[in-house]
Amino acid sequence: MPAPRDAAAPPPQGSRRHVSRARGSLSASALGPEEASRVVRERAAANGTSRVSLKGRALASPAALRAVLEAILALDGASPSGRAGPEWGPTTTLNLASANVCGEGAEALAAFLLHPRCALRELSLVDNPRIGVHLPETGAPAHAVERGPDDPVLDGGGCAHLASALRSPRCRLRRLNLGGCAIDDAAASTLARAVAAPGACPDLASLNLRSNDVGYAGAVDLKRAVMTHGLALGDVALANNPKCPEDARREVEDVAASNRRTSLVREMVESCGGGAEEGGEGGVRVPGDDTNPGDDNHTPGDDGAGVPRASEGYSSAASETVGTVLSAVAGSRTPTRRRSRRRFRACP
């Protein structure tokens, strides 16, 4: 039997008591609405308006988050001293990692993403478990702490609010990072249905769901969403989701990687005067890329390896460029067929 611990001694790391104390000390320094707005203005004046980061600065309430978003809209890309440069312009990147964002805060973010003057392209909400299923007292992710069967849990419902924005073609996000947000199967499926909706967030290229509580059911819905959304969505991360079987995770990531490869190949072919025609299952048939849905056979007029002949509008002058692009994505987890790795005959 272990010796009794002195009541005055600090609780062990990882215990629920330790988590609660840590949250309490954090809330003591959390930013209220006025202070949060001031921090945004100060950081914008020092670093530019295109990227705003409050990483690690806990917000005291949803009102504080709304103040942050209003301050960003008020910046409007203006330089306080007339300076010019890429850092001065509409805010395209917002980092709210570990900012104590909750479900109500996610609702404010969803409205912000659809605001006519919002130009946001990248949003990081890493380590905000109050968005998902968490312990009400501490805000810790319910799946990551030891708890009794009678301990209450609360679903922040943040993914439902974010999904309402993702579903809209007016949402301009390219990258959304929800790692460590206590997202379970139900929340992942909600996001998947939004991404799969017709016209949903057309530029979305990356969805990060690492370190959550997504299982097999959520992975299945995400795979279907990646296949439906189109070639833009080329990165879906599900690492460190203990409930998600390895095979299911790889399938999701492989479909996304295939989108990324096909999109790059199509871009290179089109830049060289070639064309891409619609393939089956929402895919695009690119000459020489037999990894596309509906393109299992060689197209007429190829050289026997799925590569268009130079007489069809392609030459060999830009083959090194295409080969470099293909090599850059060949290291993905999805095995690439030998034929699709061959260099295209490209335009001069």
Q: What is the pLDDT of residues 290-311, one digit of tens each?
A: 444 433 333 333 443 333 434 4
SS (H, E, C) 66-99: HHHHHHHHHHCCCCCCCCCCCCCCCCCEEECCCC
- Express each pLDDT in 47-61 by its tens digit: 899 999 999 999 999
Residue-wise burial string across 109-135, b where 16 or more C-beta atoms lie within 10 A, e elsewhere = bbebbeeeebbbbbbbbbbbbbbbbbb
Range name among 142-151, 190-199, 224-233 with the lowest pLDDT average: 142-151
Which residues, at least 6 apart from 42, have a Cβ–Cβ distance to it below 8 Å?
none
- What is the C-alpha separation between 147 and 134, in angstroms, rounded? 11
pLDDT of residue 275: 53
Question: Where are the alpha helices (H) located in the chain, listed in sequence order?
Answer: 16-28, 33-47, 62-75, 103-113, 158-166, 185-196, 216-229, 246-271, 319-329, 338-341
- Express each pLDDT in 56-82 by its tens digit: 999 999 999 999 999 999 987 555 555
Mean pLDDT of 124-136: 96
- Express each pLDDT in 259-272 by its tens digit: 988 888 887 877 77
Instruction: List phi, psi (to 5°) of 344.
Output: -75, 150
Please report which confidence band the pLDDT of residue 288 belongs to, taking 50, 70 and 90 as the band edges: very low
* pLDDT at residue 330 greater than cutoff 80: no
Half-sphere exposure of 83 (CA within 13 A, CB side): 13
- What is the C-alpha separation between 340 and 344, in angstroms, rounded? 9
Ordered DSSP codes for 137-177: TT--BGGGS---TT---EE--HHHHHHHHHTSTT---SEEE
Supply the angle between the helices 185-196 and 216-229 in degrees, to the nearest 10.
10
pLDDT of residue 201: 96
Give yes or no for a contact between 190 and 163, defined as CB atoms under 8 angstroms apart. yes
- What is the C-alpha separation between 286 and 328, in angstroms, rounded? 18
Please report which confidence band the pLDDT of residue 226 belongs to, taking 50, 70 and 90 as the band edges: very high
* pLDDT at residue 14 greater than cutoff 60: no
Q: Percent of the chain beyond pLDDT 90?
A: 56
Please report which confidence band the pLDDT of residue 341 belongs to, taking 50, 70 and 90 as the band edges: very low
Averaged pLDDT of the chain = 78
pLDDT of residue 78: 57
End-to-end Cα spacing for the chain: 78
- What is the C-alpha separation between 113 and 121, in angstroms, rounded? 9
Between CA 148 and CA 136, with CA 157 as vertex, the angle to 5 degrees is 35
Domain positions in the chain are 16-244, 264-341
pLDDT of residue 165: 98
* pLDDT at residue 22 greater than cutoff 70: no
Pick from 268, 307, 262: nearest CA to 282: 262
Pick from 126, 102, 30, 113: nearest CA to 69: 113
Say which residue, 167 or 329, is predicted with more confidence.
Answer: 167
pLDDT of residue 227: 94
Mean pLDDT of 327-341: 45
* pLDDT at residue 169 greater than cutoff 60: yes
CA dist 311 to 131, 299, 347, Å? 56, 15, 11
- What is the C-alpha separation between 126 and 210, in angstroms, rounded? 9
Q: Would you say domain 16-244 falls under CATH 3.80.10.10? A: yes
- What is the C-alpha separation between 82 and 88, in angstroms, rounded? 10
pLDDT of residue 86: 58
